[in-house]
Amino acid sequence: MPAAVGNFASMTTAFYTHPDCMRHEMGDWHPESPARLQAIEDQLISSRIGTYLEYRQAPAADVADIARIHTPAAIALVRDNVPRALSGQSSYYPLDGDTSLNAFSWKAALAAAGAAVAATDAVIKGEIENAFCSIRPPGHHARPTESMGFCLFNNVAIAVRHALEVHGLQRVAIVDFDVHHGNGTEETFANEPRVLMASFFQHPLYPYSGTDRSVTNAINIPLPAYTGGEVVRQQIAEKWLPALHAYRPQMIFISAGFDAHREDDIGQMDLVEADYAWITRQIMDVARLHSGGRIVSCLEGGYNLSALGRSVVAHLKVLAGLDEF
C-alpha cells in the first residue's frame, strides 16, 4: 500500500472479507443478499481506492469465540439446521419470519465472526491501524439466545468480548449508526462498565427497542422518520462525543449500517454519503485522542445497492485517510 498520496499520508486500513460471505442467501426476494458485497466491491473498483486498502481473507471463527456471546443452544440451532446442498435447488431453514439458513450459512457466519476477531487481533497487535469487515450475515440484532433480524451471530459483540477477555482491554466503545437499534448488542453488554455503547436509529422501527433507560452504559438517540444529516450531526455532537471523550475508550468498534441513507427503502431516514463520512471523521478523532487510532468497523445493514456501495466508499476513505484529497 502506498505510504502517501500527494502531501497526505494514508492510514493502514485492512479490508476483511471471505467468499463464503457471498454464498449465504435467503431467497431471491430477500434484501439481505450476496449482491450487497458485490456492490461494495464494484464501488471500490470504480472509486479507485481499493489499491490503498490491505485486503485480507477472513479466517473462520473458533466456536469458542462465538460461545463467549451466544448460548450453546443458539449456536447449535444454526450449526445443526443448515440444509444440504442440492444440485440446482435452493433449500432454506427458517429461523424467524425474515431470517433463514441455506447450505452455506454456517460457513458464512464463521467467516463473518472470524473477520471481526482477526481484525481485532491485527489492530491491537499494531499490524494495521484500523479495519473494515465487508461481511454478511450482519450481526447486531443477534441476541445471546437467538438469531433474528437477518443476523445469525453478533459479529461486533464477539469481537468486543475477544478484546476484553483475550487482550485484556478495560474500556471499549461500540458505535452503531444502522437505521435499526442494535438490540442484540445492547442486551449482551447492558450495564457492563467495560463497554460504552453509542447509537442513533429510527424510532419507532424494528426491533422497537433502545428506549430502556435502565441501561446505564448506552447513549441511544431515537430519531423520527425523515430525520436528515443536520439533525443527526447535532445530536452526535451534543450526546455521543462528550460521553466518548469522557470514557476514553482503548478501542472503538463500529456497527456500520448504511440503511439510514435517503435512498434505502428499509428505513425512512435522510442521510447521504457526506453524513457517513462526517460521522466516521468524528469517531476517528476520538480514536486518535484516546485509542491509538484503533478501530474495527463491521458491515451491518444497507440494502439499496448503489447507496450502500457509495456510502461504504465514503466510510473507507476516512478510515484510510484518503478523504481530504
Is residue 116 situated within a structural domain? yes
Is residue 324 situated within a structural domain? no
Q: pLDDT at position 211, please?
A: 94
In order, the DSSP letters of 158-182 are: HHHHHHHHTS--S-EEEEE-SSS--
Q: How many angstroms separate the CA atoms of 318 and 13, rounded?
A: 10
Q: How many angstroms separate the CA atoms of 315 and 204, rounded?
A: 26
Q: How many angstroms separate the CA atoms of 90 and 167, rounded?
A: 41
Is residue 325 situated within a structural domain? no
Is residue 133 situated within a structural domain? yes
The band of 210, judged by pLDDT with boundaries at 50, 70 and 90, is very high
Domain count, the chain: 1
Q: How many angstroms separate the CA atoms of 44 and 284, rounded?
A: 21
Is residue 141 situated within a structural domain? yes
Catalytic residue selected from 18, 24, 70, 141: 141
Q: pLDDT at position 85, please?
A: 77
pLDDT at 3 over 90: no
Q: What is the pLDDT of residues 242-292, one digit of tens each?
A: 999 999 999 999 999 999 999 999 999 999 999 999 999 999 999 999 999
Domain of 172 in residue numbering reads as 4-319
On the 0-12 / 13-18 / 19+ scale of CB atoms within 10 A, 243 is middle
Residue corresponding to grid cell 439466545: 145
**Cβ atoms < 10 Å from Cβ of 26:** 21
**Cβ atoms < 10 Å from Cβ of 74:** 21
**203 belongs to the catalytic site:** no
Q: Where are the beta strands (DSSP E) in 203-309?
A: 218-223, 251-256, 295-299
CATH of the domain at 313: 3.40.800.20
Q: What is the pTM of this model?
A: 0.95
The band of 113, judged by pLDDT with boundaries at 50, 70 and 90, is very high
Is residue 119 situated within a structural domain? yes
- Helix 155-165, helix 105-125: angle, nearest 10: 40
Q: How many angstroms separate the CA atoms of 101 and 103, rounded?
A: 7
Mean pLDDT over 284-305 rounds to 98
DSSP tally for the chain: helices H, then strands E: 11, 12
Q: How many angstroms separate the CA atoms of 17 and 232, rounded?
A: 30
Mean pLDDT over 283-308 rounds to 98
Report the chain's terminal Cα–Cα distance, integer Å.
17
Q: What is the pLDDT of residues 149-200, one digit of tens each?
A: 999 999 999 999 999 999 999 999 999 999 999 999 999 999 999 999 999 9
Mean pLDDT over 109-128 rounds to 98
- Residue 226's region, left for phi above 0, alpha for psi from -120 to 50, else beta, is left
